[in-house]
Amino acid sequence: MTYDFDLFVIGAGSGGVRAARFAAGYGARVAVAESRYLGGTCVNVGCVPKKLLVYGAHFAEDFEQAQAFGWSLSGEATFDWPTLIANKNREIERLNGIYRKLLVNSGVTLLEGHARLLDGHSVELGGQRYTAKHILIATGGWPHIPKIPGHEHAIGSNEAFFLEQLPKCVLVIGGGYIAVEFASIFHGLGAQTSLLYRGELFLRGFDGAVRKHLQEELSKRGLDLQFNSDIERIDKQPDGSLQATLKDGRVLVTDCVFYATGRRPMLDNLGLENTEVELDERGYIKVDEQFQTTAPSILALGDVIGRVQLTPVALAEGMAVARRLFKPEEYRLVDYRTIPTAVFSLPNIGTVGLSEEQAKEEGYRVEVYESRFRPMKLTLTECQERTLMKLVVDADSDRVLGCHMVGPEAGEIVQGLAVALKAGATKQIFDETIGVHPTAAEEFVTMRTPVSS
Question: How far does the chain reach from its first CA to its final CA, in angstroms?
Answer: 64
When the beta carbons of 125 and 334 are compared against ligand NDP, the nearer one is: 334
Minimum distance, C-beta of residue 259 to ligand NDP, in the bound complex (Å): 8
CA dihedral of 45, 47, 51, 54, whole degrees rounded to 10: 70
Minimum distance, C-beta of residue 154 to ligand NDP, in the bound complex (Å): 11
Sign of the torsion angle spanned by Cα atoms 82, 84, 89, 90: positive
When the beta carbons of 57 and 310 are compared against ligand NDP, the nearer one is: 310
The CA–CA distances, whole Å, from 244 to 56, 98, 192 equal 28, 42, 15
Minimum distance, C-beta of residue 392 to ligand NDP, in the bound complex (Å): 21
The CA distance from 284 to 14, in Å, is: 18
Amino acid identity of residue 381, one-letter, is T
Residues with a known catalytic role: 437
When the beta carbons of 64 and 232 are compared against ligand NDP, the nearer one is: 232
Minimum distance, C-beta of residue 261 to ligand NDP, in the bound complex (Å): 4
When the beta carbons of 181 and 394 are compared against ligand NDP, the nearer one is: 181
When the beta carbons of 173 and 425 are compared against ligand NDP, the nearer one is: 173
Minimum distance, C-beta of residue 295 to ligand NDP, in the bound complex (Å): 26
**Pair 291, 323: CB distance under 8 Å:** no
**Pair 230, 246: CB distance under 8 Å:** yes
Question: What is the chain's percent helix, strand, coil content, to nearest 5?
Answer: 35, 25, 40
Report which residue's Cβ sits closest to ligand NDP.
176
Give how far the C-alpha of residue 20 lies from the chain's centroid of Cα atoms, to the nearest Å.
22
The CA distance from 178 to 312, in Å, is: 17
Under the rule (CB under 6 A), what is the footprint of ligand NDP? 146, 173-179, 181, 197-199, 204, 230, 260-263, 309-310, 341-344
The CA distance from 204 to 212, in Å, is: 11
When the beta carbons of 37 and 364 are compared against ligand NDP, the nearer one is: 37
Rg for the chain, CA atoms, rounded: 24
The CA distance from 453 to 437, in Å, is: 29
Minimum distance, C-beta of residue 51 to ligand NDP, in the bound complex (Å): 8
Count the neighbouring beta carbons within 10 Å of the beta carbon of residue 236: 12
CA atoms within 13 A on the CB side of 234: 24
